[in-house]
Structure 1
Amino acid sequence: MLSTWALLMVAVVTEIAWGCSLKALSYFSLSRFFALIPIALTCANMYLLARVMRTLPSGLTYAIWTTLGAVGVLVAGALLFNESLTKGQIFFIGVCIVGVVGLHLCSKG
């Protein structure tokens, strides 16, 4: 069985995939069948997040999930969809990562 922290990272990856799937739907004008992908990712994501919250505090879990998800979608948008990232955005992405690492190091879970 995956550890709680590994499960949280899987939830983060599904969150990033969800954000990218929404962009892909609008970017590539895919068929209605592909609209099921974000719905399936949302269901998987919420299930994983709920499982993690059984063990870790909800505030810590949510803060890490949202921060890493947002950073991941920003980076994926730049890599997959040629969205621009400024030096300031890159700096603050780093600040977000430092904050998440700090939250992890200060947690008891």
Structure 2
Amino acid sequence: MAWWYLILAGLLEVGWAIGLKSSHGFTRLWPSVATVVAMALSMLLLGLAVRTIPIGTGYVIWTGIGAVGAATLGMVLFGEPATAARLFCLGLILAGIIGLKIAT
């Protein structure tokens, strides 16, 4: 169950990262509320996950899911550049996430 908590926590991290952009620096009410709720739930689920998953592994996977997800959605939703170098680096992060899951 801890791995599911961790995956959901990472997805919520993607949500609050995108929410930060949508809230325009916390100047828009509902995007700001959604961002804060996603932050709180993400932290709660991360805390539950690292009860049994090693903290180093859990934290790296949580931030990795957030980084890859936010960067990907930034390209899709906000027209951020999808250069070969950027995609390669995101692939490296993804490989690290998979490697840590396999090794733990």
TM (norm. structure 2) is: 0.92
SS at match of 1:26: coil
Match of 2:15 in 1: 17
SS at match of 1:91: helix
Q: Report the identity percentage.
A: 31
Amino acid at match of 2:101: H
How many Å apart are 1:30 and its aligned residue? 6.7
Gaps of 5+ in 1: none
Match of 1:81 in 2: 78
Structure 1 pair 97/34, CA: closer, same or farther in 2 (3 Å)?
A: closer
One of 25, 37, 48 as aligned partner of 2:45? 48
Measure, in 1, the Cα distance between the counterparts of 2:57 and 2:66: 14
Q: Deviations over 1:54-77 (max 9, x none)?
A: 110101000111112101100011
Structure 1 pair 87/43, CA: closer, same or farther in 2 (3 Å)?
A: same
Number of corresponding residues: 104
Measure, in 1, the Cα distance between the counterparts of 2:9 and 2:30: 23
- Is 1:31 aligned with 2:28? yes
Q: Aligned-pair RMSD on alpha carbons?
A: 1.7
Q: List structure 1 segments (4+ residues) > 2 angstroms apart after TM superposition.
A: 29-34
SS at match of 1:66: helix
How many Å apart are 1:100 and its aligned residue? 1.1
Amino acid at match of 2:33: L
Match of 1:66 in 2: 63
Structure 2 matches for 1:88-103, cutoff 5 A? 88-103=85-100
How many Å apart are 1:83 and its aligned residue? 1.1
How many Å apart are 1:7 and its aligned residue? 1.3
**Higher Cα Rg: structure 1 or 2?**
1
SS at match of 2:23: helix
